[in-house]
Chain A
Amino acid sequence: MSAPLHARGLAALAAGLAKREFSSVELTRHLLGRLEAAQPQLNAMVSITGEAALAAAARADGALASGKAGPLTGLPIVHKDIFCTEGVRTTCGSRMLDSFVSPYDATVVANLKAAGTVMLGKANMDEFAMGSSNETSWFGPVKNPWNPAMVPGGSSGGSAAVVGARLAPAATATDTGGSIRQPAALTGVTGLKPTYGRVSRYGMIAFASSLDQAGVIAPSAEDCAMLLGAMAGFDPRDSTSVDAPVPDYTAALATGVKGLRIGIVKEFFDKGLDAQNGERLRAAFAEFEKLGATLVDVSLPNVGLSVPTYYVVAPAECSSNLARFDGVRFGHRCEDPKDLLDLYKRSRGEGFGAEVKRRIMTGTYVLSAGYYDAYYLKAQRVRQLISADFSRAFERVDVLMGPTSPTPAFELGAKTADPVTMYLNDIYTIGANLAGVPALSVPCGFVDDLPVGLQLIGPHFSEGKLLAAAHAFQQATDWHTRIPKVWQ
Chain B
Amino acid sequence: MSVNRKDIENIAHLARLSLREEEVAGYVETLGNILDMVGQLDRAETGGIEPMAHPLAGLAQRLRADEVTEADRHGLYQQNAPRVEAGLYIVPRVIE
Residues of chain B with a CB closer than 8 A to A348's CB = 15-18
Residues of chain A with a CB closer than 8 A to B78's CB = 329
In the assembled complex, A110 has its CB within 8 A of some CB on chain B:
no
Verify A340–B92 contact, CB threshold 8 A: yes
Verify B17–A354 contact, CB threshold 8 A: no
Residues of chain A with a CB closer than 8 A to B81's CB = 328-330
Verify B55–A419 contact, CB threshold 8 A: no
In the assembled complex, A169 has its CB within 8 A of some CB on chain B:
no
In the assembled complex, A382 has its CB within 8 A of some CB on chain B:
yes
Residues of chain A with a CB closer than 8 A to B50's CB = 381, 384
Produce 1/0 per residue, B3-33, CB < 8 A to A: 1000110011111111100010011001101
Verify B92–A311 contact, CB threshold 8 A: no
Q: How many residues of B contact A (CB 8 A)?
A: 57
Main secondary structure on A side of the interface with B: helix
In the assembled complex, A446 has its CB within 8 A of some CB on chain B:
no
Report how far A197 CA is from B59 CA in the complex, Å. Answer: 11
CB neighbors of B among A318-374 (8 A): 319, 323, 326-331, 333, 337-346, 348-350, 352, 354, 357-358, 360-362, 364-366, 368
Verify A333–B49 contact, CB threshold 8 A: no
Q: Which of B27, B46, B61, B89 contacts A361 (CB 8 A)?
A: B27
How big is chain A's contact interface, by range? 35 or more
Report how far A213 CA is from B74 CA in the complex, Å. Answer: 30
In the complex formed, the residue of B with least CB distance to A352 is B17
Q: Separation in Å of the B94 CB from the closest CB of chain A?
A: 6
A sample of 20 more A-B contacts (CB under 8 A), given A242-B59, A345-B16, is A197-B55, A211-B55, A239-B62, A308-B41, A311-B34, A312-B41, A323-B16, A329-B78, A330-B80, A333-B82, A338-B92, A352-B17, A357-B17, A361-B11, A361-B17, A368-B14, A379-B41, A381-B52, A436-B55, A437-B55
**Chain B residues near A (Cβ < 8 Å):** 3, 7-8, 11-19, 23, 26-27, 30-31, 33-35, 37-44, 46, 49-57, 59, 61-62, 64, 73, 76-83, 89, 91-95
**Chain A residues near B (Cβ < 8 Å):** 100-101, 103, 196-197, 210-211, 236, 239-240, 242-243, 302, 305, 307-309, 311-312, 319, 323, 326-331, 333, 337-346, 348-350, 352, 354, 357-358, 360-362, 364-366, 368, 375, 377-385, 387, 418-420, 423, 433-437
